[in-house]
Amino acid sequence: MNLLMCPVCREALSLTEKTWRCSSNHSYDVAKQGYVNLHVVQHKHSKNPGDTPESVQARRTFLSGGFYAPLQQAVVEKIKSLRIENLLDIGCGEGYYTSAMQAEVLQCVGVDIAKNAVQVAAKMNKDITWVVGTGATLPVLDHSIDLCTSLFSPIPKEEIYRVLKPEAYLMVVTPAPEHLYAMREALFDEVNAHDPHKFVEQLQDKFELIDQSVIESEFTLDQAQLKNLIAMTPYAYKAKLEKRQALEQQPSTDLKASFQMYVFKKK
């Protein structure tokens, strides 16, 4: 079953050879890396939106070290328990979580606004429909999705509500209050605890919270691993340079990752 929607006329897209086309004859070629770009010019606010190539590479290198594997496994186990057929991962990035989730469903679409990230992701797993697109207009048909996932990504509530089937699911993963606290303490003069519950309040008119859990992992990073972790987060440009340099010069750093996972059901 096709899930993709033309971002211009909102009609269904169908794939013929290497081109996605709608009934109005808008067409989108599949790039040689294996993704399709549905982020049309009229929806763009900058030339290269989303993560930089440096940030994408840092994240890929850091995640390949397995430091966030407990979260990846917890997400996969939760998806298994939901027994769904298809999944839309919003803000899929370079595909670390998306690729693991795909093994549990019949169809998986990964969408991200950063073409740099999707290019990397598309080389990793050919069984996923990789799309460059925006959450402001998710390039997916109305009422077609069993589960939307947003891991550390924006949550376009109205669009998610549109694409989900009746009583389908939304999974949100966001930093828990203690996430990387020691690192943030070293980088900033004042540290504010993350507030994951704000998402529950934002979503409560359209989604019912049915499950929540916290996943934690502790690890020690060497200098190169720590640099990659900082580079893949907003701390890379928010922290003062001298504080960042002081932290990155330590031979090793002990950290605890703490993730809040919410599962909602569409009302």
pLDDT tens for each residue of 97-148: 999 999 999 999 999 999 999 999 999 999 999 999 999 999 999 999 999 9
pLDDT-above-90 percentage for the chain: 91
Instruction: Please give the DSSP secondary-structure letter assigned to residue 89.
Output: E
Q: What's residue 30's pLDDT?
A: 97
Q: Which of 112, 108, 97 is nearest to 60 (CA)?
A: 97
Residue 18: other Cβ atoms inside 10 A: 11
Q: What's residue 46's pLDDT?
A: 52
In this structure, what are the phi and psi dihedrals at residue 90, rounded to the nearest 5 degrees?
-90, 125
Residue 224: other Cβ atoms inside 10 A: 12
pLDDT tens for each residue of 17-35: 999 999 999 999 999 999 9
pLDDT tops 60 at residue 47: no
Q: Which of 151, 164, 97 is nearest to 124 (CA)?
A: 97
pTM: 0.94
Tokens 């009302």, located at residue: 267
Are 266 and 166 a contacting pair, CB within 8 Å?
yes
Domains and CATH numbers, the chain: 14-266 (3.40.50.150)
**What would the two tokens of residue 74 be?**
């917890």
Q: How far apart are CA 149 and CA 161, in angstroms?
A: 12
**What would the two tokens of residue 254 be?**
């002990």
Q: What's residue 234's pLDDT?
A: 87
Residue 42's pLDDT band (cuts 50, 70, 90):
low
Q: What's residue 130's pLDDT?
A: 98
* For range 182-203, the mean pLDDT: 95
Are 87 and 149 a contacting pair, CB within 8 Å?
yes
Residue 40's pLDDT band (cuts 50, 70, 90):
confident
